[in-house]
Amino acid sequence: MPEISTAERAGVGSDGHPRPTEDHIALLDHSILVLDGATSPTPALPPGGWYAHLLRDQLAEELTTHPTQDLSQALATAITAVAKTHALTPGNSPSSTVSILRWNDTTIEALVLADSPIVAFGHFGTDVVSDDRLLSLRTNGLLQTGKDVRRRRNAEDGFWVAEADPSAAHQAVRRSWPREDVDAVLIATDGVAIGVDEYGLFTWQEVLQLAKNKGPEAVLDAVRAAENGDPHAVRWPRAKRHDDQVLVLADFTG
């Protein structure tokens, strides 16, 4: 078993008021799940955190019952089960990112669907497993409205995320490494990854060292400090002053 340490912190809503986190973690015997519920495109839908919680539990059950099942198939089965139980329909469902890390004696696998990256460190250097389709659309101004999001969600010219369409699971970004080549792995939701990708506070290697030396909580502190220094989102335009944050460190060197 790797040595696992975690940190999580709730953000605020778009109104600036505190609310429960929509990020969810599950630590299983041979895998780690991290899900980040997305803000629903219409108020009529349940919140993304509600969906992420349900999908996390269903996916955890699937991987516990079938521990060697292909990760995309496990995710597709979990999506189908949640949609059926709660009468969710594709295009009219809350949604969530999904990141899965799984290991055995010889191999470490990663699956990333939407914007919660997994970053591996080892003999190969730093390998960032990220799904940048959502970021690319935002950067190009193609997600200006709720209508834009609904049209491009789980579409060939858009981005892919877990909701009620199991085919999205097969659009995830996948990676695997020989276990002997991996020293450590980070899993981050976008409330942490933004510190690397947009704020430029540190590199992923520096995130790893900070998390190892002072704990994952110190990384969350650094991102929040930067955001507190930009309270009106002038330097770094963003929808919320603080997003939910999760950071998981799996140290395989032991």
**Entry pTM:** 0.95
pLDDT in tens, 187-238: 999 999 999 999 999 999 999 999 999 999 999 999 999 999 999 889 998 8
* CB 185 within 8 Å of CB 101: yes
Domain ranges of the chain: 3-251
User: Rounded mean pLDDT of the chain?
Assistant: 94
Find the Cα–Cα–Cα–Cα dihedral 208, 214, 217, 219, rounded to 10°: -40
Q: Could you name the CATH architecture of 3-251?
A: 4-Layer Sandwich (3.60)
- Torsional class of 82: left (φ above 0), alpha (ψ -120 to 50), beta (otherwise): alpha
* Both tokens assigned to 136: 């690319």
pLDDT in tens, 45-68: 899 999 999 999 999 999 999 999
